[in-house]
């Protein structure tokens, strides 16, 4: 999947005109790329469209129109676009109550390194978490992490051939797994070369 360039983005005025339709299209697209792992963990698998939407929204909110500012946003979000042999996801631990969230995140240190995907017939692939970005300390983890799952050519062939895909977490304080539905499976296959 190719990275975004300034030419792929809408100017602020043009984006203002199409924003409602573009947002609706993106929300439908994102729905098929979301995987709940238990009641409090969600992976949002990113791709070119989800990152274009994120960049467009940042440009809009920050009123960025100079090439330097646009380049900074592209440099921030392009790394979250899959490269054809991996999946990239935003991982969120979701606890609505702030005190509960703070207490639980203190118990979930290292959870970002215990998130995995498994294609039937192959070993689990654990996430590479938060590359170049520290999201935790010795007292708690963050509620948001950025993950990458590097897949072998054999796993890519298997998942493209229809092998079941499971997503899970193996942490002493949070163990869950879920088989990905057909719609999400198909969306994730499209991310692979």
Model confidence at 139, pLDDT cuts 50, 70, 90, reads: confident
Closest among 48, 57, 53 to 187, alpha carbons compared: 48
Contact 10, 73 (CB under 8 A): no
> Would you tell me how many other CB atoms lie within 10 Å of the CB of residue 153?
9
Q: Which residue has the tokens 């440099």?
A: 75
Read off the pLDDT band of 49 (50, 70, 90).
very high
Radius of gyration over alpha carbons of the chain, in Å? 17
Tens of pLDDT, residues 52-69: 999 999 999 999 999 999
pTM: 0.90
Cα separation, 54 vs 153, whole angstroms: 30
Q: Which residues contact 113 (CB under 8 A, 6 or more apart)?
A: 126, 127, 129
- The reported pLDDT for the residue numbered 140 is 84
Residue 76 has pLDDT above 60, yes or no: yes
Would you list the domain boundaries of the chain? 1-31+48-81, 93-193
DSSP H or E run through 99: helix 98-107
Number of Cβ atoms within 10 Å of the Cβ of 15: 15
Q: What is the pLDDT of residue 95?
A: 94
169 touches 38 (CB < 8 A): yes
């Amino acid at each position: 999947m190719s990275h975004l360039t300034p030419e792929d983005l809408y100017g602020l005025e043009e984006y203002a005109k199409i924003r409602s339709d573009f947002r609706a299209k993106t929300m439908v697209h994102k729905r098929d790329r979301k995987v709940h792992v238990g009641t409090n963990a969600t992976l949002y698998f990113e791709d070119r469209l989800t990152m274009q939407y994120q960049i467009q929204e940042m440009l809009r909110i920050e009123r960025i129109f100079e090439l330097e500012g646009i380049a900074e946003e592209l440099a921030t979000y392009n790394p979250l676009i899959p490269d054809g042999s991996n999946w990239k996801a935003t991982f969120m631990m979701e606890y609505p109550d702030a005190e509960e969230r703070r207490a639980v995140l203190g118990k979930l240190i290292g959870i970002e390194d215990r998130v995995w995907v498994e294609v039937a017939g192959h070993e689990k692939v654990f996430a590479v978490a938060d590359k170049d970005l520290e999201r935790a300390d010795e007292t708690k983890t963050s509620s948001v992490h950025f993950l990458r799952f590097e897949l072998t050519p054999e796993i890519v062939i298997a998942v493209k051939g229809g092998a079941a895909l499971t997503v899970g977490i193996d942490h002493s304080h949070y163990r869950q797994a879920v088989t990905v539905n057909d719609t999400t499976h198909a969306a994730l296959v499209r991310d692979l070369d």
